[in-house]
Amino acid sequence: GQNIDQPTEMTATEGAIVQINCTYQTSGFNGLFWYQQHAGEAPTFLSYNVLDGLEEKGRFSSFLSRSKGYSYLLLKELQMKDSASYLCAVIDSNYQLIWGAGTKLIIKP
């Protein structure tokens, strides 16, 4: 079967750095998305990786290793507004989007 694993919940301190991991076992791979979802709101696009390596966008970076079936989302200089759920999703060989259950990130002052 297809599976995406993420930690259920993480806690971090304002101003710090946090890394949210995602491991996947899917039938093929055609790219990986990270989305952010604030409570009661729509998921919004953060990043897309299809090649190995690090993609940086301001305070957020996303890393991919296809050989390891692994990605992480790195959030720097954490702000209170970064408290949200972070969803990892993989495009499989049939171009279907397979979703993880999401990681709830709690930021403390």
Residues that bind another protein in the complex, under the rule CB under 8 A:
4, 8, 30-31, 33, 35, 40-45, 48, 50, 87, 89, 91, 95-102
Determine if residue 82 is left, alpha or beta; phi over 0 gives left, psi from -120 to 50 gives alpha, anything else beta.
Answer: alpha
Toward another protein, which CB reaches closer, 4 or 75? 4
Cβ atoms of 32 and 14 within 8 Å: the answer is no
Toward another protein, which CB reaches closer, 17 or 50? 50
Question: What's the closest the beta carbon of residue 20 comes to another protein, in angstroms?
Answer: 15
Question: What's the closest the beta carbon of residue 89 comes to another protein, in angstroms?
Answer: 8
Burial call 7-21: b when 16+ CB within 10 Å, e when fewer: eeebebeeeeebebe
Question: What's the closest the beta carbon of residue 71 comes to another protein, in angstroms?
Answer: 15
